[in-house]
Amino acid sequence: MMPAPSRSALIDALAWQVELGVTEAIGDVPVDRTALPDRAPWLPAPPGRNPAGPAATAPTRVAPARPAPPPAPAPDVDTVEAAEAAATGARTIDALRAAMEAFPHCALRQGARQLVFADGRPGARLMIVGEAPGREEDETGLPFVGRAGRLLDLMFAPVGLSRTAPDLERALYITNILPWRPPQNRDPRPDEIAMMKPFLARHVELARPDLLIAMGNISCQALLGRRGITRLRGTWTEALGLPCLPMFHPAYLLRNPAAKREAWADVLEAAARLEAR
C-alpha cells in the first residue's frame, strides 16, 4: 500500500492546480458514478414489456454538471503602483508586515501557508536579503530555518554576528525578496519580483541597516538588476542607496561545498566593512 501523501504534498498539488488556472473543484449537480441502468443497452427488453411504452424503465440518467460561468474580468490594476502605495503608507515595520499580509494582488499567497516576513533584530547594522521561502520557511513563517538557514548561522557565528544577538552591533536582520513560497520552489518570475520590490525597499528604509548582503542570484536580480552570482560575489556595489555585497546562497553551498571558501572570504569582508564604519 502506498503511503498517504503528506499535508505539504497535498498543498503543493493544490497550488499546482491553481497555477494551471483551475478555479472550481465541485460541480453544480452531483454525479453518481456508481449508478447502473436497469439493463445493459445492448440487451433486449424483458418479455411483456414495451421498451418504447410507459411500462419501460428508462436507465437512470444524471444531468451532467454545468460548466461554471466564466469569471468576471479582473479590473485593470497596476500591481507595482498598488504595492508602492501600500508600502509607502507603512510607517513602521509592523505596519509594513500588515500591509504585505493584506496585499491582494500577489497570486503566490493562494498556494502558501503564511507570510514569511523577517527574522533577527530590526535596526541591525547588517541586513541579509534572501530569495524566497522554501517548504520549512513556509511552515514556520521565518526565513532561513532549514539546512540553508543553519548553514547561514554557522557562517556568521565565527565573526560574532547572529540573528539572536541582543546587541544591534552584533545582530543580523534577515528577509527575502518574496514573502510567499512559489509553487514547487520554482524561481520567482520577474513580474513577481517587480511587484514585491516596493515592499522590500520600504523594509530596508524602516530597518535602517548600514550594509546589505544580496544572497543568491534572485536577490542580485532584484537589488542590482543583474544575475551571475559567481561573477558578482565578493565585490561591493550599491543597492537601495546602501553598500551591498553579493554572496552565494547557503543552498548553493550545500550543493557545491567547494564554494564555501569564497563564501567565508565574503563573510570576513562584510565583518571588516562593519568594523571600519
Q: Please check the confidence at residue 22 and state whether its pLDDT lies above 80.
A: no
Residue 73 is predicted with a pLDDT of: 46
Q: Give the mean pLDDT of 181-198.
A: 95
* Cα distance between residue 250 and residue 176, in whole Å: 13
Handedness of CA 177, 178, 181, 186 (dihedral sign): negative
Residue 158 is predicted with a pLDDT of: 97
Q: Give the mean pLDDT of 218-234.
A: 96
**3-class secondary structure, 214:** strand
**3-class secondary structure, 244:** strand
Range in 32-36, 81-85, 203-207 with the lowest mean pLDDT: 32-36
CA distances from 55 to 45, 48, 52, 178 (A): 11, 9, 8, 67
Q: Give the mean pLDDT of 197-220.
A: 97
pLDDT band at 72 (very low <50, low <70, confident <90, very high): very low
CA distances from 167 to 101, 124, 132, 160, 244 (A): 29, 8, 27, 11, 22
Residue 36 is predicted with a pLDDT of: 59
Range in 57-71, 74-88, 93-107 with the lowest mean pLDDT: 57-71
Residue 19 is predicted with a pLDDT of: 59
Residue with cell 520577474: 190
List the CATH code of the domain at 79-276: 3.40.470.10
Its pTM stands at: 0.73
pLDDT tens digit sequence for 24-65: 566 556 656 566 555 555 555 555 555 454 444 444 555 455
List the one residue out of 174, 136, 138 whose CA is nearest residue 155.
174
